Amino acid sequence: MEKVLLGMSGGVDSTVSAIILKERGYEVIGCTMILNGKEKETIKDVKKMCDILKIPHYTFDFKKEFKCYVINKFIEEYKIARTPNPCVECNKKMKFGLFYEKAKELGCKYIATGHYAKIQFSDKYNRYVLKKSEEEKKDQTYFLYGIPKEELEHIIFPLENYKNKEEIRKIAKENKLAVSEKKDSQEICFIENDNYKKFLIQNMKEKPKKGNIILKTGEILGKHNGLINYTIGQRKGIGISYKYPLYVVDLDYKNNEVIVGKEEELYSKEIFAKDLNFQIELGEEFTCFAKIRYRAKEEKATVKIKKDGAEVKFFEPQRAITKGQSVVFYDEEGIVLGGGIIS
């Protein structure tokens, strides 16, 4: 019987994952990572579920590492007017980094999580690959491109073949688990009430400064109250009126300026990506389908690998490309090729 270490967050997805793994004949060990020190209730809930399912449960204190790799990076990126994605970093460094190392220490051949994604062997690439979930709306491969390719054959996503959340809740209900009605968490785990601006102001050493709101021509239209309060593509809440609708088209950290313009100025075909991770190697130039944010649709693009990153050229213009977010590459079958951070 193969051992698997399952990351459990107290939600219905990871709990049902434990049920599925047990049914498949694995020796399941439940585990909860302590990342921000606010997991007391979560741990209580998970321990209850593990007792019902008759599986052991461990906790690993990763607060120090989480602060270093995820929280500090989140703050630093906003400080230089970039919009980071902390879930990408957390998956790379914590859930499929430190967590995987702990699994090996415990003699587990596999790790598992309740992510909506697929791992399967591909004859096309002659290796294990990460592939989009059957549940398109819930698919989380965008956040998982940072997993080292060597780890893929040691990862199990028990929910990979389920097409909707109701199927998952039904399994929890059938097993008489209270978690069946628990709501999904949509927030960044370390930010209370999803108020990231308040979090940043409380945690930044240098507080946001006021500056100019300008057109690309340099014409000053008004004042802003700190770059952290603005995002690329924003229209509402800019605080100025003009003869035509204005959108935030860029954030200039060096000059502390919010640059605004017409909606068409938000569109671009080209980006540059750094901090690349490839799960499939396709050479120095290839065509694929890429997306620039979690909720975006994949669009056809050409990728050219350079010394310090990759040039990505889309066939069609993309709206509101945002520095700090990830661009993720897929093939025509929905297999993740890799990705990087937009710079």
Per the domain annotation, does 226 fall within a domain?
Answer: yes
Per the domain annotation, does 140 fall within a domain?
Answer: no
Per the domain annotation, does 125 fall within a domain?
Answer: no
β-strands 257-261, 211-215 pairing: parallel
Looking at the fold, whether 177 and 67 belong to one and the same domain comes out as yes
Per the domain annotation, does 149 fall within a domain?
Answer: no
Question: Which domain CATH number covers 277?
Answer: 2.40.30.10
Its sign, for the CA torsion 92, 97, 108, 8, is negative
What pLDDT, in 10s, does the model give residues 143-156?
999 999 999 999 99
Per the domain annotation, does 324 fall within a domain?
Answer: yes
Question: Token pair of 78, please?
Answer: 């906003």
Per the domain annotation, does 219 fall within a domain?
Answer: yes
Looking at the fold, whether 163 and 84 belong to one and the same domain comes out as yes
**Total of domains in the chain:** 3
Question: Which domain CATH number covers 234?
Answer: 2.30.30.280
Q: What is the structure's pLDDT at 165? A: 83
The helix or strand, by DSSP H or E, that contains position 326, with its residue range, turns out to be strand 326-330
Rg (CA), the chain: 22
Looking at the fold, whether 305 and 180 belong to one and the same domain comes out as no
| Last residue of one domain, picked from the residues 166, 192, 218 | 192
Question: Token pair of 222, please?
Answer: 């008004």
Looking at the fold, whether 276 and 176 belong to one and the same domain comes out as no
Helices (H) and strands (E) in the chain, counts: 8, 17
Q: What is the structure's pLDDT at 248? A: 98
- CA atoms of 126 and 109, how far apart (whole Å): 21
Question: Tokens 């690329």 map to which residue?
Answer: 232
Looking at the fold, whether 173 and 59 belong to one and the same domain comes out as yes
Residues catalogued as catalytic: 90, 189
Looking at the fold, whether 88 and 49 belong to one and the same domain comes out as yes
| Last residue of one domain, picked from the residues 261, 282, 298 | 261
How many other C-beta atoms can be found within 10 angstroms of the C-beta atom of residue 231? 13
Choose among 32, 202, 4: nearest CA to 104.
Answer: 4
Looking at the fold, whether 215 and 330 belong to one and the same domain comes out as no
- CA atoms of 250 and 231, how far apart (whole Å): 8
The helix or strand, by DSSP H or E, that contains position 341, with its residue range, turns out to be strand 336-342
Looking at the fold, whether 57 and 78 belong to one and the same domain comes out as yes
Q: Residue 150: is it exposed, middle or buried by C-beta count within 10 angstroms (0-12/13-18/19+)?
A: exposed
Looking at the fold, whether 251 and 285 belong to one and the same domain comes out as no
Q: What is the structure's pLDDT at 186? A: 65
Per the domain annotation, does 151 fall within a domain?
Answer: no
Looking at the fold, whether 215 and 253 belong to one and the same domain comes out as yes
Per the domain annotation, does 327 fall within a domain?
Answer: yes
- CA atoms of 166 and 164, how far apart (whole Å): 6
Amino acid in position 166: E
Report CA-CA distances (Å) from 105 to 47, 60, 133, 155, 168.
Answer: 21, 12, 29, 16, 31
How many other C-beta atoms can be found within 10 angstroms of the C-beta atom of residue 275? 15
- CA atoms of 195 and 198, how far apart (whole Å): 6
Looking at the fold, whether 106 and 234 belong to one and the same domain comes out as no
What pLDDT, in 10s, does the model give residues 77-135?
999 999 999 999 999 999 999 999 999 999 999 999 999 999 999 999 999 999 999 87
Whether the CB-CB separation of 62 and 94 falls below 8 Å is answered with yes
Collapse the DSSP code of 336 into the 3-class scheme (helix H, G, I; strand E, B; otherwise coil) and give the result: strand
Collapse the DSSP code of 164 into the 3-class scheme (helix H, G, I; strand E, B; otherwise coil) and give the result: coil
Q: What is the structure's pLDDT at 182? A: 74
Whether the CB-CB separation of 74 and 86 falls below 8 Å is answered with yes
151 phi-psi bin (left φ>0, alpha ψ -120 to 50, beta other): alpha
Looking at the fold, whether 283 and 336 belong to one and the same domain comes out as yes
Choose among 227, 212, 319: nearest CA to 266.
Answer: 319
Query: Domain range spanning residue 56?
Result: 3-114+158-192
- CA atoms of 316 and 300, how far apart (whole Å): 8
How many other C-beta atoms can be found within 10 angstroms of the C-beta atom of residue 149? 18
- Low-confidence stretches of the chain (pLDDT beneath 50): none
Whether the CB-CB separation of 302 and 312 falls below 8 Å is answered with yes
